[in-house]
Amino acid sequence: MIKKLFVATVFIALIASCTQDRMPELISLELELRDLVQKSSPTNDGDFYILPSETDLEAIPQDKANNPLTPEKVELGKFLFFETGFATDALYPSGIGTYSCGSCHIPEAGFKSGKFQGIADGGEAFGLNGEDRRRNTEYQEHELDVQAARPLSLLNVAYVSNTTWNGRFGREGTNVGTEDFWVQRDGTFRNALGFEALETQNFEGLKTHRIRITKELIDEYGYTDLFDASFPELDDDQKYSNFGGSLAISAYLRTVLSNRAPFQDWLKGDGDALSPDEKKGAILFFGKANCYNCHFNQNLGSEEFHALGVKDLDMRTFYKTTDSEIDDRNLGRGAFTGQEWDKFKFKVPQLYNQSDSPFYFHGSSIKDLDDLIEYKNIAETESERVPQNKLSEKFVPLNLTEEEKSQLLEFLEKSLRDPDLIRYKPTSLGSGNCFPNNDPVSASDLGCE
């Protein structure tokens, strides 16, 4: 029904906007893309790629049994994700109250970090989009809260069923059969809790990132009513803690959707939402350039793991996280499953708002989308750790012309960019603190003083 309406609207819009002689060309471009998107979707239906509205909670993928979405929970999670007031497990007093999840997943940076590596505890400064973040010199390098991979974007994470670059969280899909690898350092079974990947990871995330949610601070910051409205079923110990807080953060993250990107408007029927060059770029994406072969889910990522041979984070200047020669994050999926054939394979990430922070791939090895397209076009390893014969069979040279590369760039940069991600930020926090960072330099950068 919606689709029929869609085709008719597109047609009228096109006829109204075209000059006589270009009309047939533009109409055929429009129809070619529509046909291609439909054929490339896993369900043979172009509507597959339409992301729901962030307020249509029913339509958003969620774990109805264990963490159903409610407006109260989403609102609470939106505060907690950015709340620097719970950053109380900092290693030094100067770090207390200065960081949040949002330190490394910044809305203005497409929910990635603003730098090649995220820094929470032990960091200072922000800049405009997180690009000035650096070590607070009171912290030694190994004391920083940093990781040996670039933070993944959290946009459209509702569509990710195996979280992290190696997909170690989650018990469904490609993780069925990986039960033997679920034990974590303290002896508990991370995926055995019965929750989906996102919830499971976030239970651990608060602790990893030195955040502690307590009843005392919940009361002090005025969040008590929101916790009560969000979790009527939980007893107080579970509710007013990292457990309840983490469930709320997961609920909020599920609503962080890039549904205002021009490609989304186009999918919903606005034929003018993409320029002719963007449409040609999309035709390449879903055709000759082969991108959809790996990037095929609703978020234009997938649960598959592939080796592209990109450089790891420790192959550039970075904040070191371990004394061992090679950080096991560099082994990708192989570090989780321990299987030789999984070595150097990484999860296929989502593709919206990529250009909001110019650091691409798990090791931030590429800083420019032009160079990224060239990398995919040539399909040759850049890492001495990953021989060419270990690369994915789906990663093949594309022979794109200069014109085609620039059309593909238009599609990535413009069509897949939601221009209004700051709608997912709270206007202020219960603590009244600055966010996503609250150290003195960040506070000044963010205009909080």
Compute CA distances 418 → 53, 150, 175, 236, whole Å: 13, 21, 31, 39
CB 355 within 8 A of CB 417: yes
Q: Who's near 373: CB < 8 A, 6+ residues apart?
A: 400, 405, 408, 409, 412
**Residue from 33, 74, 152, 226 in contact with ligand HEC (CB under 6 A):** 152
CA nearest neighbour of 267 among 50, 39, 29, 27: 50
**Nearest approach, Cβ of 13 to ligand HEC (angstroms)?**
27
Q: How far is CA 212 from CA 99, 184, 217, in A?
A: 12, 20, 9
Tell which one of 34, 73, 105, 333 touches ligand HEC (CB under 6 A).
105
Torsion angle, alpha carbons of 427, 432, 437, 441, to 10: 120
> Least CB distance from residue 406 to ligand HEC, whole Å?
13
State yes or no: residue 308 binds ligand HEC (CB under 6 A).
Answer: yes
Q: 233 vs 78, 185, 197, CA distance in Å?
A: 21, 30, 22
User: Does residue 394 interact with ligand HEC by CB under 6 A?
Assistant: yes
Touching ligand HEC, residues 236-265 (CB under 6 A) = 249
Do the beta carbons of residue 202 and residue 382 sit within 8 Å?
A: no
Residues that bind ligand HEC (rule: CB under 6 A) add up to a total of: 53
For residue 99, CA distances in Å to 37, 88, 259, 437 come to 41, 9, 28, 5
Considering only 118, 130, 244, 430, the residue that binds ligand HEC (CB under 6 A) is 118
Among 41, 178, 353, 392, binds ligand HEC (CB under 6 A): 392
Please identify, using beta-carbon distances, which residue of 362 and 414 lies nearer to ligand HEC.
362
Residue 105: CB minimum distance to ligand HEC, A: 6
Q: Confirm or reject binding of residue 209 to ligand HEC (CB under 6 A).
A: yes
**Is 41 one of the binding residues for ligand HEC (CB under 6 A)?**
no
Cβ atoms within 10 Å, residue 119 = 25
User: Cβ of residue 373: shortest distance to ligand HEC, in angstroms?
Assistant: 6
Q: Residue 306 interacts with ligand HEC (CB under 6 A)?
A: yes
Q: Residues 133, 239, 279, 329: which binds ligand HEC (CB under 6 A)?
A: 329
Q: How far is the CB of 133 from ligand HEC (least distance, A)?
A: 10
Q: State in angstroms the smallest separation of the CB of 261 from ligand HEC.
A: 14
Among 34, 279, 295, 417, binds ligand HEC (CB under 6 A): 295
- The closest alpha carbon to 54, from 416, 355, 300, 418, belongs to 418
- Asked if residue 351 binds ligand HEC (CB under 6 A), the reply is yes
Alpha-carbon distances, residue 73 vs 29, 57, 212 (angstroms): 43, 11, 18
Tokens of 35: 């046909």
How far is it, in rounded angstroms, from Cα 293 to Cα 171?
Answer: 24
Determine if 164 is a binding residue for ligand HEC (CB under 6 A): yes
Please report whether residue 330 would count as binding ligand HEC according to CB under 6 A: no
User: Which region among 56-64, 101-109, 256-264, 268-276 touches ligand HEC (by CB under 6 A)?
Assistant: 101-109
Does residue 293 bind ligand HEC (CB under 6 A)?
A: yes
Token pair recorded at residue 72: 């109260």
201 is a contact residue toward ligand HEC (CB under 6 A): yes
d(CA 9, CA 2): 10
Q: How far is the CB of 260 from ligand HEC (least distance, A)?
A: 19
As given in the structure block, the two tokens for residue 417 are 């960019």
CB 80 within 8 A of CB 213: yes
Question: Does 198 participate in binding ligand HEC (rule CB under 6 A)?
Answer: yes
Among 361, 404, 433, 445, binds ligand HEC (CB under 6 A): 361
Which residue in 346, 352, 424, 435 binds ligand HEC (CB under 6 A)? 346
- Alpha-carbon gap, residue 433 to 257, rounded angstroms: 26
> Of the ranges 12-20, 57-65, 182-190, 346-354, which one interacts with ligand HEC (CB under 6 A)?
346-354
Query: How far, in Å, are 93, 162, 429, 449 from residue 432 at the CA level?
Result: 19, 35, 5, 12
Q: Which amino acid is at 319?
A: Y
Which of residues 10 and 97 has its CB atom nearest to ligand HEC in the complex?
97
Question: What residue type is 60 in one-letter code?
Answer: I
Residue 195 near ligand HEC by CB under 6 A: no
Q: Does 266 bind ligand HEC (CB under 6 A)?
A: no
Q: What's the rounded Cα separation, in Å, for the pair 404 and 355? A: 19
Which residues sit at the interface with ligand HEC, rule CB under 6 A?
101, 103-105, 118-120, 145-147, 149, 151-154, 157, 160, 163-165, 198, 201-202, 205-206, 209, 211, 249, 289-291, 293-295, 306, 308, 310, 329, 346, 348-349, 351, 354, 360-362, 372, 376, 392, 394-395, 408, 412
